[in-house]
Chain A
Amino acid sequence: MNLFIKILKYELNNIMRSKWVIAYFMFFLVITEVLFRFSGDSSRVLVGLMNIALLLIPLVSIIFGTIHFYNSREFMELLLAQPVKRNVLFSASWLGLVLPLSLAYVMGLALPFLLHGTSDFAPYLILLSSGVILSFIFVGLAFIIALKITEKSFGVGLAFIVWLFFGVIYDGLIMLIIWQFSDYPLEAFMIGISSLNPIDLCRITIMLKFDIAALMGYTGAIFEKFFGSLFGIGIAFSMLMAWILIPYLIAKRLFNKKDF
């Protein structure tokens, strides 16, 4: 068994037992079940869950990720004093955090859906995979922050600001741009700018799978055409993969150079 698997196993063993991860799982489980009982209609449950997931997953991933990294600094130090390569420890820690968070989310949503069933299988799968992808992305960003900023309270604060930027402020800027340049055809630009923010990209991809997309009118139709095409799917997919890989690689580089 190689070292990566060994460390990953212990990381998982540790984090899966974390009360925060269990609470995170329970939250999704309860909220999904409640939404089901409340509205009964699985596509409305999905829209409700989308709202919650897009808000909560990036927030929890980046804040919990940052705190977890700060809390494990000493133990990482001990592990690095063992015959373990930095690359290996880094990848195992990263995956060891992302997997439990993703699993908590997926299981939290899956159990009620198995119980109640769904006819909207495609949007459901997209909602699940979007959540997993966002967990990967924001844990990567969390690690960059924790590696760049030594002071824990400052790091957690910055993590919150980064979340605020992607989750809230970015859309405010889009709105401003729409207002400023309302005389120009903005659709192509909008496709570009919303693809750059992983939360927006996930939100739009999910929404296009729901009949709620009809509310988005002409712009929505253009988006649907773009993201419905093979090219558009390819762009969306590569964007999200880049969003996972680039923070991961940056964090890994920082980790390899770090003085503990």
Chain B
Amino acid sequence: MISIKNLNKSFGKHKVLDDINIEVNSGQITALAGPNGSGKTTLVKAILGLVKPDSGQISIDGANISDNSTYRENIGYMPQINFFPENLSSKEILLMIKDLRNISGNSEFEKGLIEEFELEPHLDKKMNNLSGGTRQKISLVLALMTDPKILILDEASAGLDPASAKKFKDTLRKARNEGKTIILISHILSELEEFADNIIFIIDGKILVASGIKSLIAARGASNLENALADIIELQKKGNLQ
């Protein structure tokens, strides 16, 4: 479980995260959504220690993460932009990440992933010779292969072909069932509605909604997640959101 208390972060005058308080439960897929520049990526980067918060606390399973690097052994991260060293092959990069986590050899799990995403023929190629979609899949494997307790995936399905996108969702569902904590950043609400359990919606660095998706739709009496969120945004504009 990840819990975040009173988290604030500004870039210059611009307040990116404004007093964030949330808890992300394990065994669930939590979607992080919001318009561009709303602070989604900054929030997950704060969890990863990539962004240093101005104030507030982040703890994972009760342990504070500040000034620590070992907790990241339990996190698999797939960044939004994947840009790899141009002179290393896919295999070398996979090896490197495992090496940094003191894992040797290829686990059955990793082999399964590579097979599933049909990456075998690309392993010896230089990263900069690969297509965007293939790079995206490599990046996904990098996040998943060590089978970590927490997964943070930033726009993971963008650029994936439909078949791979389906395999991706299956993999995530399986991970949820194994009791993992999964944070998924996306702006495709229909996709989220399909397989995420919770939604955290952020606008201008503030949390608008943090709730179970099904209960949210039901509470708003909306036909789908998009309408439910639209409803809430409308209400907030009028200033009478309960």
Contact = CB atoms under 8 A, between A and B. Distances in A.
Q: State if A and B touch, Cβ cutoff 8 Å.
A: yes
A80 B75 CA distance: 11
Contact of A84 (B45, B69, B81, B84): B69
A139 to B, nearest CB: 17
A75 B85 contact: yes
Interface stretch (B93-101, B117-125, B172-180, B223-231): B93-101
A120 interface: no
Interface stretch (A8-16, A179-187, A203-211): A8-16
A148 interface: no
A41 interface: no
A34 interface: no
Q: Size class of B's contact patch?
A: 20 to 34
Given A83-B69, A260-B51, A77 B79 contact: yes
A69 to B, nearest CB: 12
B48 interface: yes
Given A78-B142, A82-B72, A14 B83 contact: no
Given A74-B81, A84-B69, A3 B87 contact: no
A88 to B, nearest CB: 9
B79 A82 contact: no
Given A78-B77, A81-B50, A259 B92 contact: no
Interface string A115-144: 000000000000000000000000000000
A77 B88 contact: no
Contacts of A85: 69
Interface string A54-92: 000000000000000001111101111111111000000
Interface residue SS majority, chain A:
helix
Interface residues of A, number: 27
Contacts of B85: 10, 14, 72, 75
A18 interface: yes
Nearest to B48: A81
A74 B100 contact: no
B75 A81 contact: yes
Contacts of B75: 81
Contact of A83 (B51, B70, B82, B92): B70
A10 B11 CA distance: 32
Contacts of A7: 100
A82 B52 contact: no
A78 B79 contact: yes
Nearest to A1: B99
B88 A13 contact: yes
Interface in B134-187: 142, 152
Residue from A15, A72, A73, A260 whose CB has the most chain B CB atoms within 10 Å? A260
Nearest to A6: B99
A79 B85 CA distance: 12
Contacts of A259: 9, 11, 42, 45, 50-52
21 contacts: A6-B96, A6-B99, A7-B100, A10-B85, A10-B88, A13-B87, A14-B87, A74-B82, A77-B79, A81-B50, A81-B72, A83-B69, A83-B73, A83-B100, A83-B101, A84-B72, A84-B100, A85-B69, A257-B52, A259-B50, A259-B52
Interface of B: 9, 11, 42, 45, 48-52, 69-73, 75, 77, 79, 81-88, 92, 96-97, 99-101, 142, 152
Interface of A: 3, 6-7, 10, 13-15, 17-18, 71-75, 77-86, 257, 259-260
Given A10-B88, A74-B84, A78-B79, 13 more contacts: A13-B92, A14-B88, A17-B87, A18-B86, A74-B79, A75-B85, A78-B97, A81-B77, A83-B72, A85-B69, A259-B9, A259-B42, A259-B50
